[in-house]
Structure 1
C-alpha cells in the first residue's frame, strides 16, 4: 500500500491564494508573495493588543525552540522555522500522513508604536508567544507663551 499524504489546509490555502489572485488582491495568505513561495505550511496565529503590548500567539506543535528564528527589520517582524520531516526509512511504515511538516514563514508589519528593542519570545506546549511592547507615550504638555 502506498503512503497517502492528506493536506486539507494546503488545499484550502491554495484556494484562498487563487481567489485573491483572481480578484487582484494581495490577500492575507500571500502578503507579498514571499510567504507562499518559501513555506510548506503556515502556523495559525492570534494577534491581540493589550494596553502596553501587542502579543502574537502562533501554533507550532512539534517545533523545537532552536528551530525557530524570529527577527525584526524595518518595522517587519519575521517568524520562520521548520518542523522535522519523517525520514525515508520510516515512511514505509506509515499508512497515512496528515500532519504538515517542513518550513514555515510568517511576516507581520508592526505599527510605529511598537518597541522593537524590547521584543521577547517564549514557547510553551507548542504555542510560540511573541510579546512586542509599546513605546512609552510622551504625555502632552502645555507650552506657555512668554510676553
Structure 2
C-alpha cells in the first residue's frame, strides 16, 4: 500500500509552480507497514508535544509544529544562529483501509511516531484450502 505525500518537492515534479523556498521545514519521514497497521515516524527535534498538532480530515493526516520564540532571544543578540525555528507541516493521504478514529501518536527523543491501525476487513487472512 502506498501513502501519498503532499509536499512541495513532489508537486514540482509534476509541473506545478511551487516556490523553491517556503516558510515551512520538511522533516524526514519513515513509513512502514505491518499486517495490523501503518507506522509513520517523523523527526521533529526540539519540539515539545504541546507544540505538535495532528489533525485528520477525511483521508488526510496533517502533522504540524510551531516553535515559539523563547525569552533568550530578547536578552541576547545572536552573532550566528543555525537552530531552525521555522514551522513544520506535512500532509499524508492515507488509504481507506485505515481506522482513522484509532490513530495513536507518541513522541520520544525528537521522533513523533504515529500508528494508523488497519480496519479488520483490510487485514490479510490466511486460509488453507483443501484440494478435492
Q: Measure, in 2, the Cα distance between the counterparts of 1:84 and 1:98.
A: 16
| Deviation at residue 40 of structure 1 after TM alignment | 2.6
Unpaired segments ≥5 residues, structure 1? 1-12, 140-147
Q: 1:128 maps to what in 2?
A: 112
Alignment partner of 1:24 out of 15, 34, 48: 15
Q: Measure, in 2, the Cα distance between the counterparts of 1:49 and 1:57.
A: 12
Q: TM-score, normalised by structure 2?
A: 0.72
Alignment partner of 2:74 out of 55, 74, 89: 89
| Deviation at residue 96 of structure 1 after TM alignment | 1.7
Count the aligned residue pairs: 115
Q: Measure, in 1, the Cα distance between the counterparts of 2:16 and 2:33.
A: 26
Residue 102 of structure 1 aligns to a residue in which SS?
A: coil
Q: Measure, in 2, the Cα distance between the counterparts of 1:90 and 1:46.
A: 38
| Deviation at residue 103 of structure 1 after TM alignment | 1.2
Q: 1:43 maps to what in 2?
A: 27
| Deviation at residue 84 of structure 1 after TM alignment | 3.2
Q: Measure, in 1, the Cα distance between the counterparts of 2:74 and 2:104.
A: 39
| Deviation at residue 71 of structure 1 after TM alignment | 1.1
RMSD of the alignment, in Å?
3.0
Alignment partner of 1:64 out of 23, 34, 48: 48
Unpaired segments ≥5 residues, structure 2? 1-6, 126-132
2:36 matched to 1:52?
Answer: yes
Rg (Cα) greater in structure:
1
List structure 1 runs of 4+ shifted beyond 6 angstroms: none
Q: 1:5 maps to what in 2?
A: none
Compare the two structures and name the one with the higher helix fraction: 1
Q: Measure, in 2, the Cα distance between the counterparts of 1:122 and 1:54.
A: 14
